[in-house]
Amino acid sequence: MSKRDYYDVLGLNKGASADEIKKAYRKKAKELHPDRNADNPDAETQFKEVNEAYDVLKDGDRKAAYDRFGHSAFEGGMGGGGGGRPGGMGGGAGQGDFASAFSDVFDDLFGDFMGGGRGGRSRAARGSDLRYNLRVTLEEAYNGLSKTITVPTSVQCGACSGSGAEGGAEPTTCPTCSGMGKVRATQGFFTVERTCPTCSGLGQIIKNPCTTCGGNGRVQKERALSINVPPGVETGTRIRLAGEGEAGMRGGPPGDLYIFVEVERHDIFDREGVNLQCRVPVSMATAALGGDIEVPTIAGGRSRVSIPAGSQSGRQMRLRSKGMPALRGGGHGDMFIELAVETPVNLTSRQKELLKEFDSLSEDNNPESKSFFKSVKSFWDAMKG
């Protein structure tokens, strides 16, 4: 593929003055800026081309070499007078196709790390995501809640409308990287790319930084946010509030706010997904005779439960739909009651007397014990051979 003429790239005639070159470059760079051309896949290549052309034509010596020898002035670092600069900054005019091929690889590699836009050279960096830990009670998780939280965050600076420049002046293209946000260093065959030290990868510098924000385009502030926590949240539920994170650098898009929910332990109810478990102690007499008991529900009410006569410890009973609401709709879970038969303590002598009398009258009242000791006896008999 033959390289386009640098003057053509900028829409100029050969012999254009330094002023004309500068003007043409600004106009083109603005038009082709990747932030404005998200939908135009060719803009990025053209933007690179324009930067490369300007990189050469703005420099008196290199321009003279180009005027005389054309592109061959810079090829392979061997061309005519004034050729390839060591450590080729930015534009890449001094590097052959080998380096360009590498740069594409680097673009892909770095794209994800540098925050924001495709190719990793979004000048206006996206703000960070924020995490806010929210502890709620089980009752709040059951009912859902609305709450105002205070988030320490950074917001767009009002004095400069987020541009970072005093009086709202436009930031200018970084001279070190020609707006690419990255610089390249060639070592032998390899080209290493790294974030531009002058502009920290933003591709733009500010001559007169805003005094309020120091040029960041954002200021620290506590922000009050009202949030809605839906019924059914669990520990680990994340609620995303798009665009409520930190403001971006120099007018970049804001990050998101993530609310991480933690549901506190409850004294009465244990939660297992949408179901609730509740251990209910019952007296020995109630367990033996049967009877009604009242149990609490998470909704704050009470439910009557009939204990069948002869209930053992550990018996499970289900109260349908008395559990937690499902987070994404679809009704409620169940509540399970587990009976814990309580052996009476602190007996009076009269009670002891009654229990002894009861025991002497007991015959077939403890089938589980009877069957257990029968098994034990045959176990021992078998051991004797």
Residue 213 assigned as binding residue: yes
Smallest gap from residue 213 Cβ to Zn ion (A): 3
Residue 278 assigned as binding residue: no
Q: How far apart are CA 341 and CA 294, in angstroms?
A: 15
89 interacts with Zn ion by CB under 5 A: no
Q: How far apart are CA 151 and CA 277, in angstroms?
A: 35
339 interacts with Zn ion by CB under 5 A: no
The contacts found for 363-368 with CB under 8 angstroms, 24 or more apart, are: 368/312
The dihedral built from the CA positions of residue 109, 115, 116 and 117, taken in this order, carries a sign that is negative
Q: What SS3 class is residue 1?
A: coil
Q: Which is nearer to Zn ion, 73 or 177 (CB)?
A: 177
Q: Which is nearer to Zn ion, 220 or 366 (CB)?
A: 220
Pick one of 37, 72, 128, 176: the residue that binds Zn ion (CB under 5 A). 176
Phi-psi map region of 132: left, alpha, beta (phi>0 left; psi -120 to 50 alpha)? beta
53 interacts with Zn ion by CB under 5 A: no
- Residue 77 corresponds to which amino acid? G
Pick one of 9, 10, 138, 157: the residue that binds Zn ion (CB under 5 A). 157
72 interacts with Zn ion by CB under 5 A: no
Stretch that binds Zn ion, among 65-73, 129-137, 212-220, 375-383 (CB under 5 A): 212-220
198 interacts with Zn ion by CB under 5 A: yes
HSE value, Cβ hemisphere, 13 Å, CA-based, for 179: 21
- Residue 106 corresponds to which amino acid? F
Stretch that binds Zn ion, among 22-30, 196-204, 346-354, 359-367 (CB under 5 A): 196-204
Count other Cβ atoms within 10 Å, centred on residue 219.
Answer: 18
Residue 196 assigned as binding residue: yes
| Cβ atoms of residues 3 and 70 within 8 Å | no
Stretch that binds Zn ion, among 15-23, 103-111, 198-206, 295-303 (CB under 5 A): 198-206
Phi first, then psi: what are they for 116, rounded to 5°?
85, -145
Query: Residue 49: CB partners within 8 Å, gap ≥ 6?
Result: 4, 9
Q: How far apart are CA 141 and CA 301, in angstroms?
A: 16
159 interacts with Zn ion by CB under 5 A: yes
Q: Which is nearer to Zn ion, 83 or 179 (CB)?
A: 179
Q: Which residues are annotated as a binding site for Zn(2+)?
A: 157, 160, 174, 177, 196, 199, 210, 213
- Footprint of Zn ion (CB under 5 A): 157, 159-160, 174, 176-177, 196, 198-199, 210, 212-213
User: Which residue numbers belong to the known binding site?
Assistant: 157, 160, 174, 177, 196, 199, 210, 213
